[in-house]
Amino acid sequence: MIAYPGAWLGWFRPRDELAAAVGDLLLVGFHGSTSASPSARLLARQVRRGQVGAVFFVSENIGTTEDVVGLLRLFRAGTARPLLAIDHEGGVVQRLTKAHGFTRVPAARKVAAKMSPSGACSLYAQAGRDLATFGFNVNLGPVLDVDDPTNPAIGFHGRAYGKDPRLIASYAQAFVEGFGSAGVMCAAKHFPGHGRAVNDSHDEAADISATWTEAELEPFTQLLSSCHAPAMVMTGHLRLSQLSPDGRPATISAPIVTGLLRGRLGYQGVVVTDDLDMGALSRSMGRREAFVQAIAAGSDLLMIKNLFGYDPLLPQRAVGWVRSAIARGELKEERVMEAAERVRALREKMF
């Protein structure tokens, strides 16, 4: 018996250039930890059809070594060339561990305390080879946030390298260079700076207006202008009233994505959102609104975990959201096509 028959049979299968472009913007998660998962099998079919261009793994998707390899083989089957992403920062944010034959990577704070940038680069190069051997080609890191031990999402877990922007940038360059040497592209995060937020954006949008300073841009500025600029920058669900007085978090804020990141910092690579299903957005708006606003703001790759409120028809619905938004004047088709071209160019470099 086929699970999710409507989705499996391909209702609203892409038939035109716009629908294909929307598929390239989707970075989607799935249920299960083996290749027998109906959710994984459906997503793999959607990848083969060009309805989804990128897949990301979370802790729920990690089983045994054989399970992970089997899933990656499933997503890579056929002629599609999907981006296959995972969080592999080190410390508590390392899904694949010694049990899978992976090098243990310390948290960023420990790396900066115990290693030189060149030593860190060697460590990250080995970690990159581990990922590449399995079939991953995107690492959702490094963290460029300023370290504050009281921050519940970053500092508490030692995920930041330190307080000095130059130090942060030097280790971030080592991260990007190391993983890049193994063919794994990176996504620097969380723009414009999550480190001094007093709350966790997994639960609610973190308002950084009272704590954020221009110094938190410096690690990004230095990394983006270096010879090891990352292929992607990830925006956070961070409210910054100085730049976005309407209260929209960075992930859906044109002044922050297009104005600050693209305009002032001159970044021309792929902008990827943090998970649009996180409480920071999902408590105040639905997926459709978040998806459309993120594209309109200037984002290129939109992450949707799709675990809570699982929707097997998500790729088809996304096409509908975009079509209706264009018809209503909420979104320009040119913006969608521009985003898709950036993602396609990244994939071409990778493959």
Number of neighbouring beta carbons within 10 Å of residue 320? 14
- Whether 176 and 219 have beta carbons less than 8 Å apart is answered as no
Determine which one of 202, 203, 228, 311 is catalytic.
Answer: 202
According to DSSP H, which parts of 182-253 are helical? 218-224
Q: What is the largest CA-CA distance in the chain?
A: 57
Query: How far, in Å, CA of 137 to CA of 120, rounded?
Result: 20
Query: How far, in Å, CA of 267 to CA of 221, rounded?
Result: 9
For the residues of 136-190, what is the DSSP string, one character each? --EE---B-PPP-TT-TTTGGGT-S--S-HHHHHHHHHHHHHHHHHTT-EEEEEE
Number of neighbouring beta carbons within 10 Å of residue 15? 9
Q: Known catalytic residue: 157?
A: no
Determine which one of 87, 147, 274, 300 is catalytic.
Answer: 274
Q: Known catalytic residue: 202?
A: yes
Q: Is the dihedral of CA 160, 164, 168, 170 positive or negative?
A: negative
Beta 26-28 vs 302-304: how paired, if at all? parallel
The set of residues, in sequence order, having a beta carbon less than 8 Å from that of 239 and lying 6+ positions away, is 205, 206, 207, 208, 209, 247, 248, 249, 250
Beta pairing partners, 93: 90
- Known catalytic residues are 202, 274
